[in-house]
Structure 1
Amino acid sequence: MTTPRDLLITTLDVAPDRPVEQGDLSLALAGAELCDLLTAEALTLDGDRIVPGLPPALDDRLLDAASSSLDREAPYESVEDWLWRRGRGLYATYLADLEARGELTRRRNRWLPVTAGRTALSDSPARHHAAERRSSGDPVLTVLAAAVGVGQEPAEDLADLVDDAVVTVLAAVNNALMELEAVRQRRSIEQAAFDNVWRGP
């Protein structure tokens, strides 16, 4: 299993009745992909720039797609730019992948079409793997899950748990999530002001 799948399974397993914002999770999934690609030595970081290495045999379709989409020309892409570009719609991509693997089912609702039913995790090896990784306190999974509102960050200093490149990626995910929340708040204020204009005095 990969960190993005473990992250998605964790959010669906731990907070099924309090769904995570899709935009937030898409950014975190893109960050999880970078962390896995760093581990696989498919890339290195030069400051905050992603420097691709030789494409490794990753044995995972979605990570292969992530690796092949890296910008391979200097000055290369920043981690934050990657998160926004790769993250667009990534939640839906991973959700569809889980469903295709039979790890996610839709609960039928007799009043609504099947496609409108709620999703539920199957009792699969992938679910058990994600749960074991979560319970072991895996720092990357723990930090990414906490960033989208599921669980708490590790008590230890992150720099003592993972290398500098991973710290850079995780920090960029947090920054992108804060930026996305600021955009949401601004739009909410603008919408409220627009509504007030139409409502009148």
Structure 2
Amino acid sequence: MSTPQDLMIVSMDVPSSPPVEPGDLSLALAGAEVIDLLGARAVTLDGERLVPGSGPAVSDHLLDQAASALVDQAPYESVEDWLWRRGRNLSSVYRGALRAAGLTAVSRPRWRPWAAGEPVLLDSAARREALDRWTSGEPVLSALASAAGIRGERTAAEVGDDAVATVLAAVHDAVEELQSVRQRKDIEKAAFDNIWRA
């Protein structure tokens, strides 16, 4: 499994309070794609710019799509711009990929069988591998999960690779920016509601 798929599985399997926001998760998934593409040498970093590489073909369908979506002309795209562009609704894409691979099923409440149920993970080798990676405190997955709002019981070790650390920092910054936008909208909505109550 890829890092984004492992992150998606962890987001569905590890209880989180408050619940993980789809936007935060999507940004972290876009970062996870870059990290796997760096590992496959399908992309390199020039400062904070993503430069398509000439590494081996990526065997994962969604990572192959991500590699094809890279801007292939100078001045190239910054990691931050990639996160916002590629991350749009990416959590839905990965959730759909897990369903298409037969790794999830829909659970329907017994007292409301007509209601649309929530997807739940089935027992599978992919799920066990993702959770083993999570419980071992693997630094990259732990950092991405933390950025998405999934809380672990321990702090992960530092990431030694400078390029990966750059991507992780960009993910954290993008998630913080998105949370600030959400808070600002909540404040504006509350102010608007108060005007109508007055």
| TM above 0.5 | yes
Matches within 5 A, 1:1-201: 1-15=1-15, 19-54=19-54, 56-110=56-110, 111-113=112-114, 116-152=116-152, 154-156=155-157, 158=158, 161-200=159-198
Q: Distance in 1 between matches of 2:65 and 2:22?
A: 20
Distance 2:38 2:96 in 1: 25
Secondary structure of the structure 2 residue equivalent to 1:142: helix
What is the distance in 2 between the residues matched to 1:56 and 1:186? 44
The SS at the match of 1:50 is strand
Residues 136-183 of structure 1: per-residue CA shift (max 9 Å, x gap): 221100101111222347354x2xx33100000000000000000000
User: Which segment is superposed worse, 135-144 or 27-36?
Assistant: 135-144
| Separation of aligned partners in 2, 1:99 and 1:187 | 33
Q: 1:17 to 1:191 in 2, by over 3 A?
A: closer
Of 145-154 and 31-40, deviating more is: 145-154
Kept in 1: contact 2:16–2:151 (CA 8 A):
no
User: 1:17 offset after TM fit, Å?
Assistant: 7.7
3-state SS in 2 of match to 1:198: helix
Whole-angstrom CA distance in 2 between matches of 1:191 and 1:19? 21
Matched residue SS, 1:120: strand
2: CA distance, partners of 1:52 / 1:5: 22
- Does structure 2 retain, via aligned residues, the 8 Å contact 1:12–1:19? no
Taking the aligned partners of 2:24 and 2:79, their CA distance within structure 1 comes to 16
Q: Specify the code of the residue in structure 2 equivalent to 1:148.
A: A
CA distance in structure 2 between the aligned counterparts of 1:155 and 1:9, rounded to whole angstroms: 18
Alpha-carbon offset, residue 57 of structure 1: 1.6
CA distance in 1, matches of 2:126, 2:84: 27
Tell me the secondary structure at the aligned position of residue 191 of structure 1: helix
Give unpaired runs (5+ residues) of structure 1. Answer: none
What letter matches 2:6 in structure 1? D
Q: What is the identity, as a one-letter code, of the residue corresponding to 1:140?
A: V
Counterpart residue identity of residue 196, structure 2 = W
Look up the equivalent residue of 1:118 and give its one-letter code: E
**CA distance in 2: counterparts of 1:55 and 1:66, whole angstroms:** 14
Whether the aligned pair in 2 keeps the contact of 1:29 and 1:90 (CA below 8 Å) is yes
**Paired letter, 2:38:** L
Amino acid at match of 1:142: S
Could you tell me how far 1:58 is from its partner in structure 2? 1.2
Tell me by how many angstroms 1:112 deviates. 4.6
Q: Report how far residue 9 of structure 1 moved.
A: 0.4
What is the percentage of aligned positions where both structures have the same residue? 57
Q: CA deviation at 1:134?
A: 1.2
User: SS of the residue aligned with 1:119?
Assistant: strand
CA distance in 2, matches of 1:98, 1:17: 23
TM-score normalized with structure 2 length: 0.94
Alpha-carbon distance between aligned partners in 1 of 2:23 and 2:139, rounded to the nearest angstrom = 22
The CA distance in 2 between the partners of 1:31 and 1:177, in whole Å, is 11
